[in-house]
Amino acid sequence: MATASTSEPVLRKLEELRARYEALGEEMNRPEVAGDPQRIVALNKEHGKMRRMMEPYEAYRKAMAAVGESQAILSDPASDPELKALAEEELSLATSQAAALMEEMKAALVTGEDAAIGSVIVEIRAGTGGEEAALFAGNLRDMYQRYCDRQGFTVEVMDASPSDLGGFKEVILNIKGEGVYQHLGYEGGGHRVQRVPITEAQGRVHTSAATVAVLPEPEDIEIAIDWEKDVVEHVSRAGGPGGQNVNKVSSAIRLEHLPTGITVSMRDEKSQHKNRAKARRVMMSRLYDHMMQGQRSQRDANRRTMIGSGDRSERIRTYNFPQNRCTDHRIGLDLYCLDRIMNGELDELIAALQKYDLEQRLRSL
């Protein structure tokens, strides 16, 4: 069974949620609420989200009731021996079931919001190190692409600025898949590489860097943007490869959100309309991230401290090619399989981050 130290706060929280869940059900049955389409939709949405937590909780309560009944039979001296034998079997089964459900509910309770995010925008930018940093940014893009292929996630290149040697000065990806934020949400921050660059004639190891930002793109982002008043749009000709269309058509879009100063540039598509649509998606995600940073709960504040904020200035990981070593500095983990990691085998690394994050979140309940 789960330890009392971690289970008790979880059960208190679950009881609070059950009270809210039941109150929602009662409110939805009121005639005046049923006749208000906007209100009933909002209540149904909240009720549906809570149902995913309440169903295992009800199963847990039934299992614990069975545990209590079996223990009562076993402790009763007058109980029939055959009945006691059945009670022992039931006790073992119900105890195991309750323990498994408790672990499931713990994880869902503290990571449920993350699990609901099925789309993220990943921005990778070359940092210090010139052309070698751009090559490394390209390596990170390839690493995430391979990992996503293994997980069955879809990857869309929203925008890219290639470098002269085949790397990227910047690349923006939209990655979709069930629970994608739980997999890639820890990748935000500074990534450092130590290796001999292809431009190095004397075989010396250089250190370069790239930065990664992972922005959640929830299905329903409740952000009101006045695209006419709050956002200034600049249109220009796209630079780089693309043939005559690039030189003749003003298709590149740059959006500036005046209240926050957030800017987005998009030039990947030949169509101005497609670039505008992509730029607005990125703008919404950046604004969502900006708003959430100002509204973090204590749990998220703890997460930033324990597992990292995702801020690009924070060095989270070092990729040492001569030693075939990948080090995650947030949890002090060294893995000597960098070749496999760069090939998209991130499972062990991400699992360790998920486990550590879950432990810290549970402690903060």
Neighbouring CB atoms inside 10 A of 339's CB total 11
CA distance 363 to 341: 30
- How do residues 120-156 score in pLDDT, each as one tens digit? 999 999 998 889 999 999 999 999 999 999 999 999 9
CA distance 211 to 128: 10
Torsion of CA 59, 62, 68, 71, to 10 degrees: -70
Extract the tokens encoding 99. Answer: 């323990």
Instruction: Give the Cα-Cα-Cα angle 320, 214, 362 (nearest 5 degrees).
Output: 90
CA distance 219 to 118: 8
253 phi-psi bin (left φ>0, alpha ψ -120 to 50, beta other):
beta
pTM assigned to the model: 0.69
Extract the tokens encoding 231. Answer: 């956002």
CA distance 54 to 61: 10
**Within this chain, domains 119-216+311-363 and 231-293 share the same CATH topology:** no
Residues of the chain short of pLDDT 50, as ranges, are 1-4, 241-247, 297-306
Extract the tokens encoding 171. Answer: 């690349």
May I ask the CATH architecture of the domain 119-216+311-363?
A: 2-Layer Sandwich (3.30)
Domain parsing of the chain, residue ranges: 4-115, 119-216+311-363, 231-293
CA distance 145 to 132: 20
The pLDDT value recorded for residue 70 is 93
Looking at this protein, which amino acid is placed at residue 313?
Answer: S
Residue 109: which of 228, 183, 11 has the closest Cα?
A: 11
The pLDDT value recorded for residue 353 is 94
Torsion sign, CA atoms 197, 201, 203, 204: negative
187 CB burial (10 A radius; 0-12, 13-18, 19+): buried
Helix (H, G, I), strand (E, B) or coil at 161: strand
The pLDDT value recorded for residue 3 is 46
Q: Are 215 and 121 in contact (CB under 8 A)?
A: yes
CATH class of 231-293: alpha beta
The pLDDT value recorded for residue 230 is 87
Helix (H, G, I), strand (E, B) or coil at 82: helix
The pLDDT value recorded for residue 115 is 75
Residue 186: which of 354, 2, 348 has the closest Cα?
A: 354
Extract the tokens encoding 172. Answer: 């923006």
Q: Are strands 189-195 and 315-320 parallel, antiparallel or unpaired?
A: parallel
Compute CA distances 250 → 233, 237, 266, whole Å: 13, 4, 12
